[in-house]
Structure 1
């Protein structure tokens, strides 16, 4: 019999199962409202000042916002295994992401995770390099700024446009600038 009767994968799978279970149990409908009450609404923040959900909306409007937030939580993808594996491997997610948009919503979205000691220029090169490779498959001239299908959204700034590859080999989001900037 081996020294330990389980593998690293067994540990990760159980951690992912419990991670998911914790979120399921912690985010009951009433708990969402309680958590919202004193939380700041991001769009109202100006430095250290802003409005909480409880200050901003009351009564029926608060309940509507609570229902919408609860629905978003319930519809969220289960990334428990991904999160556990990132932590176990010592990786951290980058804020940058690449997303291809269609008339019916996102076609795909790529998230990146790297070691904390990866230099910023290497992080940028990773995101730009993947963006450039994807851009090669869109085909030159197949996407114009007026088209909404096959458009890419920058996860950093939210800009949406077509992907162009410049002479320097970098992927750029037309018309708004560089992917992963």
Structure 2
């Protein structure tokens, strides 16, 4: 065979991404017209023409500006994994998002198992001196004692990182 599975994945990811680079503006409107807006009973097509056009333009811009996660999506499908809606975001000064973690699980993983795994992940994060509880937060895992055991250089790094980052469970 003159190609590998990786070649197939790469080409699928390329085509997946290409579909988002120049979205069909008219098609966006056609696909959204019969869809309900959020948790309302209103459909996009019920909006007046100016409001509908503004919404369609906003959707077009969001599609064009979306991060290229094509290879990730292809790999998830190939591994029979499905994305989970819960994410975790590390924020910096001024609330700017620095890192966002997304998760995927095997389809047979129950909701309870998924949430248990994510809760365990959060618990581990809070043991890390760089993302442990900030001043005024509870310290059930003894961060203060751990931080006191660090040498001066590591302690300075940990304190700087704690001051700059905070883990936010986006499900909350």
TM-score normalised per structure 2 = 0.72
Aligned 1:9-158 pairs, distance under 5 A? 9-25=6-22, 27-44=23-40, 50-55=41-46, 57-102=47-92, 103-137=94-128, 138-142=131-135, 150-156=165-171
Secondary structure of 2:109's match?
coil
Extract unaligned runs of 5+ from structure 1: 45-49, 160-181
Secondary structure of 2:91's match?
strand
Task: Map Cα deviations across residues 46-65 of structure 1 (whole Å, 9 max, x no partner).
Answer: xxxx110121x212222221
Which position in structure 1 is the counterpart of 2:154? none
1:92 Cα shift?
1.3
- Root-mean-square deviation (CA, aligned residues, Å) is 2.5
CA contact 1:100–1:150 (8 Å) conserved in 2: yes
Aligned length: 145
Which position in structure 1 is the counterpart of 2:157? none
Change (3 A) 1:141 1:151: closer
CA contact 1:12–1:84 (8 Å) conserved in 2: yes
Q: How many Å separate the matches in 2 of 1:43 and 1:15?
A: 33
Extract unaligned runs of 5+ from structure 2: 138-163
Change (3 A) 1:142 1:63: same
Task: Map Cα deviations across residues 63-91 of structure 1 (whole Å, 9 max, x no partner).
Answer: 22122111111111111100110111111
Q: How many Å separate the matches in 1 of 2:12 and 2:165?
A: 37
1:143 Cα shift?
6.5
1:31 Cα shift?
2.0
Name whichever structure is richer in helix by fraction: 2
Larger radius of gyration: 2
Change (3 A) 1:65 1:51: same
Higher relative contact order, chain-length normalized (CA < 8 Å, sep 6+): 2
